[in-house]
Amino acid sequence: MKANIAEKSKIEIIKRHINGEPVDLISKNASIPKSTIYYWINRYGKNIRKKTPASTVLELDHARKRIKKLEGMIEVLRAVDCTASAPLRHKLEVLQNPLTY
């Protein structure tokens, strides 16, 4: 049994399990008792799981907000008969009085 296993090795073993590799197989390949691997998963696994998806969730939320904003802009441009580069004042005038333009 390995007495001192580096933190990086523990993280790699936990990641292997998170990615779907069974603990039995990891235990055999790494020559580490299953109980030790389960201990590491319980102790460190939550933090490792949180790190990867957290940035993804933030990026996804930012992308959704940006898409919603852009869809709103597209909706306004479709509602008015002017180009995207037209001044905002002109777009607002067209929106308020669509029949005059």
Domain positions in the chain = 7-72
Distance CA 85, CA 79 (A): 15
* Per-residue confidence (pLDDT) for residue 25, from 0 to 100: 93
Does the reported pTM lie above 0.85? no
Report angle CA 11, 17, 20 to the nearest 5 degrees: 145
Highest mean pLDDT among 41-50, 63-72, 75-84: 63-72
What torsion do the CA atoms of 41, 3, 16, 28 make, to the nearest 10 degrees? -110
Which of 18-32, 40-54, 56-70 is least confident?
A: 40-54
